[in-house]
Amino acid sequence: MRYRRLGNSDLLVSEIALGSWLTYGVSVDRDRARACVRGAIAKGINFFDTANMYGKGAAETLLGELLAPYPRDSYLLSTKVYFPMSATDRGLSRAQIRKQIDASLARLRTDHVDLYQCHRYDEETPLEETMQAMTEVVDSGKARYIGFSQWKPSQIEAACAIDGVARFVSSSPQYSLLRRKPERRVFPLCRKLGVGQIVWSPLAQGVLSGKYSPVAPLPAGSRAGSKAARRHMKRLIEPQVLDAVERLRPIAAGLSLTLAQLALAWVLREDSVSSAIIGATSPGQIEENVGAVGVRLDRDTCDAIDAALDGVVS
């Protein structure tokens, strides 16, 4: 495994992190989730990402249980706040942040997280209030650092211009071969501000592993094979996207890589990226995906990838 500094923080995060959206505590049972966490740690993954809303607390609860046997200073833990936890609990007000951090820490069985992220921007709370509340979380020792996910450049700039509050160290956008928008404005802005990228869905939810054939039915047991999870993948499993992914196959084979490894190596070629947060439903997926660490893609390969994906990149 290799490690990168997360923005201006002193956190050294593994280039591959393990997330828990739609998996642990939701679709992946306890024993399999335990095997994934154990496998991740064995491969040098030291960074685990979750959120209060994943399974309405179930992901944090299971992750807390599975990480409990490991020394707390041997791994880095990130969680998030914003999305509804009940009919009345949502957003980034001072009251919510105070309430949700305590609930997250209790589920995670720890007295602090290494990173506390604003899961989205809250249009209904003054930004100053949110930043002051996040600062309070840091000052009380409940989080070491703070970050945001999917904020617009103007929102990031406004937050970073507020005096006397904790500084953001991380940004968490969706970023993959198929989703490159953050390269345009978010990455350059964050570089200037000392904010690192911990990117999500680097495999486009599994699509970039090549597991979905343009001509065969969606495999049972896969994310797209589940009706509940498929609603997050509508655009990703359109035939023209799956056809384009098929065109990556010879490029990966020529480098003796799997498609998933090619996709992750491409994400990690970007200096702004501190860590690619993968999801995994089996230890085998983690083992395969970690094989992308240290792979360098040359200019010709990147050009061939771009040609293969022409028309399906956003």
Ligand X SMILES: NC(=O)c1ccc[n+]([C@@H]2O[C@H](COP(=O)([O-])OP(=O)(O)OC[C@H]3O[C@@H](n4cnc5c(N)ncnc54)[C@H](OP(=O)(O)O)[C@@H]3O)[C@@H](O)[C@H]2O)c1
CA nearest neighbour of 282 among 6, 16, 36: 36
CB 124 within 8 A of CB 130: no
Residue 9 binding ligand X, by CB under 6 A = no
Q: Which of 3, 24, 54, 82 is catalytic?
A: 54
Residue 171 binding ligand X, by CB under 6 A = no
> Which residues on neighbouring strands pair with residue 275, listed in sequence order?
198
The count of residues interacting with ligand X (CB under 6 A) is: 29
What's the closest the beta carbon of residue 47 comes to ligand X, in angstroms? 10
CB 97 within 8 A of CB 109: no
Q: Map residues 125-164 to x or -, x wherever contact with ligand X holds by CB under 6 A.
A: ------------------------xx--------------
Residue 233 has which token pair? 């993948």
Interface segment toward ligand X; rule CB under 6 A; list 19-27, 90-98, 290-298, 306-314: 19-27
| Alpha-carbon distances of 171 from 9, 155, 188, 211, 280, rounded to whole Å | 12, 12, 12, 29, 22
What's the closest the beta carbon of residue 59 comes to ligand X, in angstroms? 8
Among 57, 182, 279, 283, binds ligand X (CB under 6 A): 279
Residue 202 binding ligand X, by CB under 6 A = yes
Residue 43 binding ligand X, by CB under 6 A = no
What's the closest the beta carbon of residue 62 comes to ligand X, in angstroms? 13
Residue 40 has which token pair? 């991740």
| Alpha-carbon distances of 54 from 20, 207, 211, 286, rounded to whole Å | 7, 21, 24, 20
Residue 122 binding ligand X, by CB under 6 A = no
Cα 243 to Cα 79: distance, rounded to the nearest angstrom: 35
Q: Is 116 a catalytic residue?
A: no
Residue 96 binding ligand X, by CB under 6 A = no
Residues that bind ligand X (CB under 6 A): 19-21, 23, 49, 119, 149-150, 172, 200-206, 209, 211, 222-223, 260, 277-281, 285, 288-289
Catalytic positions:
54
